[in-house]
Structures are given as structure tokens and as C-alpha cells.
Structure 1
Amino acid sequence: MSSSSGNQKKALGFVGHALKRKDSFIQLFAMTGILLLSMRSLGQKYKIHALEEDIHSLSAEHASLTDRIKTIKRDLLQEASQDPTGLFASRLRHLFAE
């Protein structure tokens, strides 16, 4: 039982010490909170940067695909225009809504 009372004394000593130096503990908790928020903010900054790079890459890919589609349409229409009946070219224009 004496070891139990010794633990209580140490626990009360910690609480007493904490109450005595409550300003230091408040500062410690505030600084810990600020540090955690700063780390979270830094992580979000890197995520935003990565997403901006993805946006740039996707925009470039979109532009490339758009150019390829235009080239394919133009080549198909040019090849279809060589058909003497004009039926294939007419269907392609209807398909491409031109």
C-alpha cells in the first residue's frame, strides 16, 4: 500500500507542478498546436502544387488530343471527297455535324 501512496504522491506532485507552471503548459500546448497546423498546411501546399502540375499536364494532353481529332477529321473528309458519289463525304459531314 505504501507504493500506491507513493504513486499518488508523484501524481499529485505532477498535478501540483502543472498547476504551479500552468502558463508554461499552456504555451507548450499552443506551440504544439501551431506546429501541427503548420505541418498540415505544408502538406496541403505540396498537394496543391502536385494538382497544379496535373492540371498543366492534362491541359497539354487535351490540346494534343484535340489537334489529333481535327487532323483525323480533316484527313477523313479529304479522302471521302475523292469518292465520286459524294455519299461517304455527306455521311461524314453529318456524323461530324459540319
Structure 2
Amino acid sequence: MASSAPQGSIDPLTGKDPAKALTAVASGFFENVKKNKQSFFQFAAMTGILLLSFRSVSQKYRIHDLEEDTAVLKKESDTLTDRMSRIKSELLHQASIDSSGVFAARLRLLFGEDKK
């Protein structure tokens, strides 16, 4: 969409050319930076340190959350291992009740156990 105001026109509210006003603001900013170089660099350094601090804090909380997730997953893994062991021993017990021993032999073969 093209601008309806021609270049070099004057803003009716301020009475100034917007392009020249922007140029004046930019040059004023750079001259101010040149005068107060040390303060500008201190401000830039402090801003960088602040941003790094925020990043560090967010990483700290992320690590904390991951440690909690790891503990929960470890507990769940242990629970599943115990449950599998109980199911296995219960199946072997039920198979040992069978007088033919075929079922027990098949289970031992599936579980990778040698005959006892």
C-alpha cells in the first residue's frame, strides 16, 4: 500500500518533515552516545549481565524440573520391574502346580531360565 503523503511533505500536527525529524533524533542519539561513551558501554554491559542472569535462572529451574522427572521415572521403572517379577513368579508357581510340567518348561523357556 503506497503512502498518500508525498515525500518531503510536512506533518500537519507537528509542522515538521517526518523524515528530517527522524534523522535529527537518530543523529542526536548517536552524538549523545559519543559524549557518554562510558555510560553507554556500562549500560550495555549491565543489560547483558541481566539477560545472562535471567537465562541462568531459567536453566536452573529447568534442571530442577528435569531432576524431578528423572526421580519419578526411576520410581516408575522400579515399580514396573517389581510388578514384572511378581507376575513372573506367580506364573511359574501356577505352572508348577500343573502335573505334566509342560507349561512350566515352556514358561522357563520364554523367560530364558534353565531348568531347575
- Please give the TM-score of this superposition, normalised by the length of structure 1: 0.90
Partner of 2:54: 39
Provide runs of 4+ in structure 1 moved above 6 Å.
Answer: none
Computing the radius of gyration from Cα coordinates, the structure with the larger value is 2
The within-5 A match list for 1:1-98 is: 3-4=16-17, 7=21, 8-98=23-113
CA apart distance, 1:11: 3.3
Distance 2:52 2:108 in 1: 58
RMSD over aligned CA atoms reads: 1.9
AA at the equivalent of 1:86: G
| Amino acid aligned to 1:31 | M
How far did 1:3 drift? 3.3
User: For 1:85 and 1:17, how far apart are their aligned partners in 2?
Assistant: 97
Gaps of 5+ in 2: 1-7, 9-14
In structure 2, the CA distance between the partners of 1:80 and 1:10, relative to structure 1 (3 Å rule), is closer
State the Cα deviation string for residues 12-66 of structure 1 (Å, max 9, x = none): 3322111000110101111111111110111111010000000000000100110
Query: How far apart, in 2, do the equivalents of 1:68 and 1:76 lie?
Result: 12
Aligned residue identity for 1:3: K
Runs of at least 5 residues in structure 1 that lack an aligned partner in the other structure: none
CA distance in 2, matches of 1:92, 1:44: 49
Q: Work out which structure has the larger RCO, using CA pairs closer than 8 Å and 6 or more positions apart in sequence.
A: 1
Q: Between the two proteins, what is the percent identity of the paired residues? A: 51
